[in-house]
Structure 1
Amino acid sequence: MTDMPPPLAIVVKGWPRLSETFIAQELVALEEAGLRFDIWSLRHPTDKKRHPLHDRLQAKVRYLPEYLYDDPARVAHAREIARTLPGYAEAHALWRADLRRDETHNRIRRFGQACVLAAELPEGTRGLYSHFLHTPSSVARYAAIMRGLPWSYSAHAKDIWTSPEWEKREKLAGPHAATFGATCTAYGARHLRDLAGDPAKVDLIYHGLDLSRFPAPPERALRAPGAPLRLLSVGRLVEKKGFDRLIAALALLPDDIDWHWTHIGGGDLGPRLAAKAETFRIADRIDWRGACDQPEVIAAMRAADIFVLPSRIAQDGDRDGLPNVLMEAASQLLPIISTAVAAIPEFIDSGTHGLLAEDDPEALAQAITTLARDPALAARMAGAARDRLLAEFTMQPGIDRLAAKLHRMLGTP
């Protein structure tokens, strides 16, 4: 029985990715809950490291052609098979309508990848589930129509806030809409439910945190007045993370605060931000560590005094959901400073579980100064954040609901 093909195909944008531990955590947990699936990735990995979590996954990982010209023979063969499938004509007509509104190479690539996916899905596949509502869901949707299968999605942040409204509406409420959708914040759920027609088709499922992957928090003594302040941030060097604001804020800190900032994460803005730090003459107080695996991140959190994530809304509308790194910091009793953007206030009530500053260097500098000068306050808020994590943001309740929804979609026990 175990040799039978898995009933579920999960479509992801790239596998594995260091910045998407929430996806890896979910898929490992679904597998441990008894779901059987293959992973179909639109892209090959670019990170040089892996999290230990990735190595726990038993599912087979299959890679679609990242660009159609990478493997023209595979694409041409798949297209011939796809044309024989019962829903191909309908999927092709839908794609053509989408292409008229989105005349991009990406849209063409989505259909080519969908043809490969539909042609290569093993017999016995009963449904598809995609992570992210934009490109992966387009590929899953076109392929599902070709094969006459149900599909579903998990939406997160960028995919919600930067996708065209017409596309979101049709994926949520059109004739070939998803069977169900999950999203990881109440903030995102409200927006998607407004587009879905039937609000019940969009379920709020927090990722939560699998605390079994994290050590108990360290015994934290109150930082002595005048001791060096160790600041930590974890996040990609992209506009929505707000690290340009943080660098400006660090330059505003009072002279009596001896600070050092460590940043973990990759991203295209690295050279620009490093140059900004040089301009402010604070580069010697910053450690750019680049992309790190989970054990390295946890070790950095245990060694830090304050975690800072100055999220903001980017010019193209992109923004965070509820970053898992905030919950990870809370698991280690690390005091948190962030901003009241998107779903962050769903976990951090400013003044109780941490401080949420305005998207402004002066406000960030003031928040850092407040916690630096009142370690007891910082410790109380860190304790409250961990208590909330344990009470409301553990992983298993969400996994149980998601697994039940996927089983219903697949018709499996």
Structure 2
Amino acid sequence: MNKKKLIVPLILLLAAAVWFVFFYKNKTLKFVPENADAVVLIDVKKLTRQYISSLITHPSRWSGSKTKDQKTVSLKDSGIRIPDFLQVFHLKNTRFSEWYTVLELKNAEKFSAYLKSHQFVSKGENIFQKDQIFVKIEGEYCMVGTSALAFNKISQQLFQSSEKNTLNAEQFIHNSLGSISFISGKSIQSFSIDLKKDEIEIKNTGNPQNLTSIDSKLQQKNFFLDAELDAENIRNYTSLFNKSIGDSSGISYFKAAADIEQVNDTIISYEYDDNFNEVEKKTFQKIIQPNYVMDLQTAAPEKTWAYFQHKKWINDQNQFTAIPFQPNRIDKSNEGITVKSTRKPISLSPKIKENYILIRNNPLLLNSLSSLSPAEKRIISDVEYIYYGNKARTYWLKIKAKKGTLPLILRW
């Protein structure tokens, strides 16, 4: 056979293989329980294409990591069936910190070896834990979560129930790398997730220009935390932790600023000398202490004050105990309530009448996060700031990383 006649079929076959491997996607979502109220989707194939594209343009990464532990099983050899869409969900009436995902297993023995090589500890009943990650193997599937509390409920809904809550990826994600969606009955509100060279963007509109200008203005400030929120944003944020506090407190406006610094903390203990006399002993340790001020405006300061007292958030020294960092002082005026740290007070910046939260990274922050792994600390240290902005129905969250020679997808 003429070799030239083989070229075209081979090219077509190669193109079909590339399309199937990198572009074809099964959009059926089988692992989102019916009582999920939030879903994060990651387009795995789009993420793979972005990773390969970045890798091709950065030859320094072609050799891979030279420090990789030879005893550690890699993810590609873990026995997991990599999905086209990674489905991470949150269940109704569970803590905000509880998130779960379900994965199919190609080989349960390989997956067990993977968990062992990554120092997961068996907790019994096929449940394994490492730090704040929990895994349960159930037949041909595994459940992964930041808690193990809902594993039984998830199993009953997804594996034991005859009624399946089958969804389609197009209900949640449209051409972006990922999405985060909030479900309320039949209503779904989705926000796109995009990974750029030095930042991650989460937004509900294609071009939030009115919020990018605010972000630029805020870069001129130096606070660790700077925030300004109206009543709607206060309700949205407080509902993540307590469904009633936003409305019950009557707060219509919130503005805050905070800095952190390292200070010497004195610890007083007592010992006894040879004559059994009590002797005071002082030791010193360095701790991270915030200095902050919060302005809470309300049309009825007395009502807000009474609500805080009912919650036992105000003690006899007029300290606001809902904030664990002491000492502080809470005061009431005709306009509202102010909470200030007393050790080193700071002043609020002028109002700009916008909704935003800006958190800047600070080297001292890592000193107070001793429970994190080295990899988690490396990621946090690479973040420059986190910015949230809202104007009308436009929402935008940006996680800005420090500029580096490699894009984030190759760094993290």
Compute the TM-score of the two structures, normalised by the length of structure 1: 0.27
Higher helix proportion: 1
**Higher relative contact order structure (alpha carbons within 8 Å, sequence separation ≥ 6):** 1
Bigger radius of gyration among the two: 2
Higher strand proportion: 2
Compute the TM-score of the two structures, normalised by the length of structure 2: 0.27
